[in-house]
């Protein structure tokens, strides 16, 4: 899974909120810094294995930077830091202790299907975006 020095975002492929977040990132990542894989995909499962993370838990966005996996609020904030525009300013929220940030992340994660719905299958990228997905 060569990435040409891209950061990789692993996301729950059937979660509408997660898919929306991926689309949000794509629109604000003109340099195509990020590549994506659903946690349920072969590439996602392989990445989880390399990181020593559980392969059956899909309740966190996972950011892989320089072979290090970041989860939950840390993954989101590190991602925001690297987007174009004013979104970088959200990185200042890293000053909030991780257990507090992750408490709120977990609140949303537990109810994401109920609040935003879910798909029957993982998203299929358009031909223009296919190179961004592993």
In the chain, where the domains are located = 7-118
Question: Would you say residue 1 has pLDDT above 50?
Answer: no
The whole-number average pLDDT for the span 84-111 is 95
The whole-number average pLDDT for the span 28-35 is 91
The whole-number average pLDDT for the span 97-107 is 96
pLDDT value for 96: 97
Angle in degrees, CA 88, 70, 3, rounded to 5: 85
pLDDT band for position 98 (cuts 50, 70, 90): very high
More confident residue, 34 or 124: 34
Report which of 94, 106, 99 is spatially closest to residue 61, judged by C-alpha positions.
Answer: 106
pLDDT value for 134: 79
- pTM value is 0.86
């Amino acid at each position: 899974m060569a990435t040409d020095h891209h950061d990789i975002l692993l996301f729950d492929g059937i979660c509408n909120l997660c898919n929306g977040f991926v689309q949000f990132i794509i629109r604000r990542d003109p340099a195509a810094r990020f590549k994506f894989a659903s946690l349920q995909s072969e590439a996602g499962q392989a990445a989880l294995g390399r990181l020593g993370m559980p392969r059956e838990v899909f309740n966190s966005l996972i950011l892989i930077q320089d072979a290090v996996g970041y989860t939950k609020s840390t993954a989101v904030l590190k991602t925001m830091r690297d987007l174009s525009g004013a979104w970088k300013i959200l990185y200042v929220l890293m000053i909030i202790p991780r257990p507090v940030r992750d408490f709120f992340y977990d609140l949303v994660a537990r109810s994401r299907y109920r609040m935003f719905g879910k798909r029957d299958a993982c998203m299929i990228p358009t031909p223009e975006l296919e190179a961004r997905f592993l």
